[in-house]
Structure 1
Amino acid sequence: EDKIEIVPLGINLEEYENLPAYGKFRSKFNIDENDKLILFVGRIHEIKGLDLLIDAFNDLINQNDGENSLDSIDSYSIKLAIVGPDDGYLAKLEEKIKEYSLEENVIITGPLYNEEKQEALVDCDLFVMPSKYESFTTSGLEAMACSKPLVLTKNNHIHDWVDGNVGLACEDNKGSLSQAIEKVLFDEEMSLIFAENGKKLIKEKYNWDIINSQILEIYKRFL
């Protein structure tokens, strides 16, 4: 064990120094600038928890009573964008969206890369990771580099340092996910704190310059 070193994944922070202007993604997909936008980026595969996300999203926009009612919010002002290639689950996903009559609220873009993916990240209000299992993914780091708060299930192995720091971690059920999304989406102060913490954490721990230095130090110790 004393010969094993674990180095995290990271991103090239230079690629996030000159981000696209706000509004490009929204304009392309007819999303109003005042709409609340939730973003998922990843493969459209069953393991990514998109069925849970749609269940939770449906609950979120159809709340009509209770202490945390969204009565004052037009349900059509909340949008969910799903970005990524089909990996065998698109047909079932579209069927579920149709079952809930969410066609006006859910946008499936297909895969986006480089600047187009950054446009989506810049324009979202919240980045969601509802996976049924996830070891470590750079998609969350990319969202943090764009100063976006995260909401993820505790099935993501990074949930321990995300929760209460750069976002919220929730249980693997629609009620918990819906509540976590609502908290971050409509608490602007919380959202801003998470966003600032995430950008700072990327700079200090998860950018390639830092990680490359760590790797070099490890090599030196074993030479």
Structure 2
Amino acid sequence: MKILHITSGFAGIYGGIAHALNGLSMAQARQGHEVTVIAATKAGEEGITFKPQDVELVIIKQDIFNKVWNSHAASLRNVIRKRISEFDIIHIHGIWHHPSYVAANVARKMQKPFILSPHGSLAPWCLQYKRVKKKAYFELVQKRQLQHATLVHALTEAERGYIKKLVPDTIVKIVPNGIDIQPDLNENEIIEFRRKYPWIKVGRFILFLGRIHPKKGLDVLVKAFAGAKRRGIEHLLVIAGNDEIGWRSELEKLAWKCGVGKEIYFVGQIEGSEKRCMLETCDFLILPSYSEGFSMAILEAMAHAKPVIFSSGCDMSELINEGIGITANPNETEMEKAILELALNKELSKRMGRKARELVLRKYSWDIIANNVIDMYEEAIEIFRFRG
């Protein structure tokens, strides 16, 4: 099958969508499909853009109008128009931005089946964030794109519900994200990690992995961590992720106000062996988001046999049923209680971690998920043909 993926930023700093597409595209290529990714990226990001193996990558530079329309790239339309006839299916990742608008319009006008993946962006919290702009854009543009899509891809049953509530007549299929199981770290990678982070002690820190953004509930995390420290835990807190909108300084002020300024480390965006070392040596991962799709960070932690604490805003209910994680509402009291439960119970933490890795191997490897996505593509192509 010839597959075209279209997205905006295609680097780790953009969070889960970029990581998910990187893994999915490589898995599809391994299975023998011809895969192309067209990504609208900012100037200067060439060095950090993902370069998936055996996948054709077409980079379109965003222009000055991206300040008005997210990820705007004037040349994108012509590139897609010239190439779109080559492909059997068009898969558009993300909404609200210029690339998804252009790709959906071109696919519809040139009569090609296309799938739209919101990646959790239609959850209630997300719709309330910058509510006025999103409401107008949804009614004028986004709703019609969802209606015109051959089908819409949801990551979870909860996301399917959000989409159907907004656009009842659209066809929605559920396929979760996946994860690649990485090889063991080599000695040089471990030595370099210890050199860069000499203050880290194995099993003595809690890890947050994700963008620094109000959606992620980091203000709640700082307060909950401070409360847990007062109750006697010895852990540090490591916050690893891109400071997307300049919120880090506010969180640092909050940390000092709560008395834990020396115990919280902001290490910026991490990738590759550095991220794997961080996951390998942490005690557990915590994700206190107000809203989250099928989290790539949680899957990465599970692949490293780490338990997770996640908020009720994360669509990860299966983990509770499997005995893998602890869920809590995104407030200071409940998050503090969850931190104490895992930090003070090593046996529980190890047991959850073992179950987490077993579940990933059984159900969430990218090779398994890629097969399910191909099944979704084949169904979309049949639907498109039936509609004529």
Does TM, normalized by the shorter one, top 0.5?
Answer: yes
Q: What corresponds to 1:36 in structure 2? A: 204
The equivalent position to 1:172 in structure 2, one of 330, 347, 354, is 330
Q: Match of 2:357, SS?
A: helix
Q: What corresponds to 2:67 in structure 1? A: none
How much has 1:214 moved relative to structure 2?
A: 2.0
1-10 vs 103-112, greater mean Cα deviation = 1-10
The equivalent position to 1:82 in structure 2, one of 230, 239, 247, is 239
- CA distance 1:2–1:173, shift in 2 (3 Å): closer
The equivalent position to 1:125 in structure 2, one of 277, 280, 283, is 283
Q: What corresponds to 1:67 in structure 2? A: none
Match for 2:279: what amino acid? Answer: L
Once residues 193 and 99 of structure 1 are traced to their aligned partners in structure 2, the CA distance between those partners, rounded to angstroms, is 35
> How much identity, in percent, do the aligned residues show?
29
Q: What corresponds to 2:346 in structure 1? A: 188
The equivalent position to 2:258 in structure 1, one of 96, 100, 104, is 100
- Unaligned 5+ runs, structure 1: 64-69
How many pairs does the alignment contain? 209
Contact 2:203–2:282 (8 Å) recurs in 1: no
Match for 2:284: what amino acid? Answer: L
How much has 1:201 moved relative to structure 2?
A: 1.0
How much has 1:30 moved relative to structure 2?
A: 3.2
How much has 1:27 moved relative to structure 2?
A: 5.1
- CA distance 1:7–1:121, shift in 2 (3 Å): same
Per-residue Cα deviation, 1:194-219 (whole angstroms, up to 9, x for no partner): 10111011111111111122233445
- CA distance 1:168–1:23, shift in 2 (3 Å): farther
How much has 1:51 moved relative to structure 2?
A: 0.4
Once residues 214 and 35 of structure 1 are traced to their aligned partners in structure 2, the CA distance between those partners, rounded to angstroms, is 36
The within-5 A match list for 1:130-149 is 130-149=288-307
Pair member with larger Rg: 2
Match for 1:19: what amino acid? Answer: L
Contact 1:131–1:153 (8 Å) recurs in 2: yes
TM-score of the superposition, structure 2-length normalised? 0.50
Per-residue Cα deviation, 1:83-124 (whole angstroms, up to 9, x for no partner): 011122111111101212312211110111111111111110
Match for 1:49: what amino acid? Answer: G
- CA distance 1:100–1:35, shift in 2 (3 Å): farther
Once residues 185 and 92 of structure 1 are traced to their aligned partners in structure 2, the CA distance between those partners, rounded to angstroms, is 26
- Unaligned 5+ runs, structure 2: 1-168, 383-388
Q: What corresponds to 1:11 in structure 2? A: 179
